[in-house]
Amino acid sequence: MTAISLQNIGKHYPLQSGNERWALRNISLDIAAGQSVGIVGHNGAGKSTLLKILSGITFPTEGEAFVRGSFSSLLEVGTGFHPDLTGRDNIYLNGSMIGIPRKEIRRHEEAIIAFSGVQDYMDEPLRTYSSGMKLRLAFAVMSHLTTDILALDEVLAVGDTQFQVRCMERIFSMRKEGRTILFVSHNLAAVRQLCERSIVLNNGRLTFDGNTKDAIDFYTGQYSSGKSNFRMDGFLREIISECTTERGSIQLNIRDLPSDATLDVGLNISDSNGNALLHLSNRFIRKDIHPKNGAVECEFRFEHGLKPGEYPVSIYLGQNEEQLQWAEHTSVLTVPPYNPYGFHNPDAIQAAGVRNFEITQH
Amino acid sequence: MPPLRHISSKQSFIEWVKIILSRHETLGVLIWKDLKVQYGNWFLGILWAIFQPLIYLGAIGLMLHLGGRKHASGEMDPIIFLFSGIIVWNFITNAVNSTIAGIQGNANIISKAFFPRFFLVLAPVFRVVLDFLISFILLISIAVIRHSEISASALWKVPTALILLLMTAIGLSSLAAVAVVVNRHLRHIIPMLMYTGLFIFPVFYMLEHIGNPILHSGYLLNPIAAGMTSVRSIFGTMDSLPISLAIPYFSAFVLLLVGIWAFRRMERTMADRI
């Protein structure tokens, strides 16, 4: 049975200038009931707009969609929370906003309160809660959603690790219950764990639809390695990354800086799931970079210890303790295939290797 | 087979009504939230519903008295006449102003959760109906205290007047909602306009005192003026509407339809504009 069917969905926003911006265009997609689908893409790719159209929050400009079964969306943790109302009142308010019938909430009220862990403050106004308490309360409410289809937008972007783990566990059990789940997240590791299928959105277009592993490879591979893939925005004019099995080099050509104050450059190398692995900063080795006439070229050479694969590189630029640019996943470091361990299954080895260390035997 | 929902750039009126009916519970929750947030407890809420129109009565009464104007209420007790006008005008004003405030106050929910947008009009209007009923009871109490004549046979006009005023309030509030979403600066201007309604509507003068015949017939179309006259007719024999009451009902109904039409047009881009 098809739970969601999109046919040529498009949405444009008229702009003040009279131009228009298509947030989504030509999106066609079928999702079977019980399937978990990840939606990945950069900020502004149209992920939230897609969920908003399916929720009924906004209308598409063209195309049509069919949704079979009850639908609820969590575009924000604690939607509708009002600071002047008590925790108990907010359970009803939030529950009603995300589409839990009142009698369901009444039936589960005690369970929700117990689950939230803030039972002693239930009759205090929400403004007296800490942000952690509010999160726990919102999570307790959303755990009692019983709709057939669930759209989750960056629910893991808030809270500490412990909260996120609990969140993931709950989402997993919802999946086991047979719900259809649409999962929007920048946390690619979570998408990989949760979803068998993923779609990639880029500038409002559906650029990939398939199994999650391929989708994530496609998404991270959009910044393929080498010269071909520098982006012209901001101060970064050119990024050349070269890599051998042991050493990497990233050359940056930086232009049009606002001043010649010392420049701070940070390179963040992550795995294809988006988890940061290595960080290189001029500050860390106490090396100053001095631009001349707002321009500078510099090269970072380093030993990496990474296994073969593709590693997205993000770049930070700052001057006078202020951020100038944060270019996320702007280039890729490609470690060529080799097997340093001589091991039959090097894929089983996690994390980056360390080369400069000693082993003493006693 | 679970129910199927169709999404496209257009939505039929029947679908629109169906969704409103299926989510009626959320309307209750929104009204309940407003009551709780605004009044904190019911006692203060009732107190406010009583005092607000009384304060207007005091202020306008004083103004008329200092202005040395002979009351323009005909045979009727001037205080009853004035207070009837005030509660009707206050109902419409509060409905429109609460709708505007609600759109501003709920902006975050509008862009993050789905519920029928028309509840942003219905919730405040239904909430101020409660206030109107309280002030109506107050009006009857004042009439009893002052030994005014109450025509029991005219009491049937209360529910019909309420229907008339409800249609008017929903129509006007819908238009106000559209106006503030399209241009947010209007949210300061519309409440001001509503206060001038105190002079435009026959709160402290009778329709008979309008000399200009065109203007006079204009007032006959006016459902707010008709609402005032209906309420006043409970307390006396005055029947200032020579033409049948059907005319203001018709104009209230047209206002309601225009309001809903405009709201539905605005609704599809509401979350993008807020």
Per DSSP, the residues of B48-109 read: HHHHHHHHHHHHHHHHHHHTTPPP--TTS-HHHHHHHHHHHHHHHHHHHHHHHHHHHHTHHH
Question: According to the model, what pLDDT value does residue B156 have?
Answer: 78
Percent of residues, chain A, with pLDDT higher than 90: 42
Q: Taking CA atoms, what residue in B is nearest to A149?
A: B2
Question: According to the model, what pLDDT value does residue B100 have?
Answer: 96
Architecture (CATH level 2) of domain A2-221 = 3-Layer(aba) Sandwich (3.40)
Q: How far apart are CA A177 and CA A181, in angstroms?
A: 11
Query: For the domain bounded by A227-339, which CATH number is listed?
Result: 2.70.50.60
Q: Taking CA atoms, what residue in B is nearest to A79?
A: B109
Taking chain B (274 residues) in runs of 10, the rounded mean pLDDT of each run is 86 92 92 83 81 89 75 73 91 95 91 93 94 92 88 79 94 96 91 85 73 74 85 71 71 96 92 84
**Whether A148 and B2 lie within 8 Å, measured CB to CB:** yes
Nearest to B271 among A52, A76, A98 (CB): A52
Q: What Å distances lie between residue A252 and A315, A344, B17, CA to CA?
A: 10, 37, 59
Q: Which of A97, A102, A104, A141 to mutate to test the interface with B (most CBs of B within 10 A)?
A: A97
* Alpha carbon of residue A247 to chain centroid: 29
B37 φ, ψ to 5°? -65, -45
Residues in CB range of B236: below 8 A, 6 or more apart: B74, B75, B76, B149, B151
Q: Taking CA atoms, what residue in B is nearest to A80?
A: B109
pLDDT digits (tens, 9 = 90+) for A265-315: 999 999 877 788 999 999 999 999 999 988 999 999 998 888 888 888 889
The answer to whether residue A224 scores a pLDDT higher than 50 is no
**Whether B9 and A59 lie within 8 Å, measured CB to CB:** yes
What angle (nearest 5°) sits at the alpha carbon of residue B68, between those of residues B64 and B72? 60
User: Whole-number mean pLDDT of chain A?
Assistant: 86
Helix B24-39 and helix A102-116: axis angle, to 10°? 60
> E strand or H helix at B110, and its extent?
helix B107-112
**Whether A57 and B271 lie within 8 Å, measured CB to CB:** yes
B88 φ, ψ to 5°? -70, -50
* Residue A265: closest CA among A252, A278, A249, A256: A252
Question: According to the model, what pLDDT value does residue B238 have?
Answer: 56
Strand order in the sheet with A62-68: A20-32, A2-14, A62-68, B4-8
**Whether A92 and B29 lie within 8 Å, measured CB to CB:** yes
Residues in CB range of A355: below 8 A, 6 or more apart: A246, A303, A305
B182 φ, ψ to 5°? -70, -45
Q: How far apart are CA A171 and CA A179, in angstroms?
A: 10
Residue A228: pLDDT band (50, 70, 90) is: very low
Question: According to the model, what pLDDT value does residue A28 have?
Answer: 95
Q: Which residues of B touch A (CB under 8 A)?
A: 1-9, 11, 19, 25-26, 28-29, 33, 36-37, 108-115, 268-272
Q: How far apart are CA A247 and CA B47, in angstroms?
A: 77
How much is the ipTM here? Answer: 0.82
Question: According to the model, what pLDDT value does residue A210 have?
Answer: 93
**Whether B113 and A56 lie within 8 Å, measured CB to CB:** no
Question: According to the model, what pLDDT value does residue A321 have?
Answer: 87
Residues A139-166 have a mean pLDDT of 83
B29 min Cα distance to partner chain A (Å)? 7
Upper half-sphere CA count for residue B64 (Cβ side, 13 Å): 19
Residues A328-336 have a mean pLDDT of 82
Sequence spans of domains, chain A: 2-221, 227-339
Bridge partners of A199? A39, A209
**Whether B112 and A75 lie within 8 Å, measured CB to CB:** yes
The answer to whether residue A176 scores a pLDDT higher than 70 is yes
Nearest to B7 among A67, A79, A148 (CB): A67
* Residue B205: strand, helix, or coil: coil
Q: Taking CA atoms, what residue in B is nearest to A84?
A: B37
Contact B116, B23 (CB under 8 A): yes
Which of the 8 DSSP states describes residue B235? G
Q: Taking CA atoms, what residue in A is nearest to B271?
A: A58
Take residue A88 and report the two structure tokens written for it.
Answer: 């108990």
Q: How far apart are the first and last CA of chain B?
A: 36
Contact B171, B224 (CB under 8 A): no
Higher pLDDT, A246 or B13: B13
Q: Taking CA atoms, what residue in A is nearest to B19?
A: A56
**Whether B33 and A93 lie within 8 Å, measured CB to CB:** yes
Chain B residues inside the 8 Å CB shell of A99: 114
* Residue A274: closest CA among A314, A326, A324, A308: A314
Q: Which residues of A touch B (CB under 8 A)?
A: 13, 52-71, 73, 75-76, 79-80, 82, 84-85, 89, 92-93, 96-99, 101-102, 148
> In one letter, which amino acid is A285?
I
Question: According to the model, what pLDDT value does residue B72 have?
Answer: 60
Q: How far apart are CA B94 and CA B134, in angstroms?
A: 14
Take residue B27 and report the two structure tokens written for it.
Answer: 């309307």
Q: How far apart are CA A64 and CA B4, in angstroms?
A: 13
Sequence spans of domains, chain B: 13-273
Which of the 8 DSSP states describes residue B208? G
**Whether A60 and B8 lie within 8 Å, measured CB to CB:** yes
Query: How many C-beta atoms surround the C-beta of residue A30 within 10 A?
Result: 13
Upper half-sphere CA count for residue A355 (Cβ side, 13 Å): 10
Which of the 8 DSSP states describes residue B230? H
Percent of residues, chain A, with pLDDT higher than 70: 94
A288 burial (CB, 10 Å; 0-12 / 13-18 / 19+) is exposed
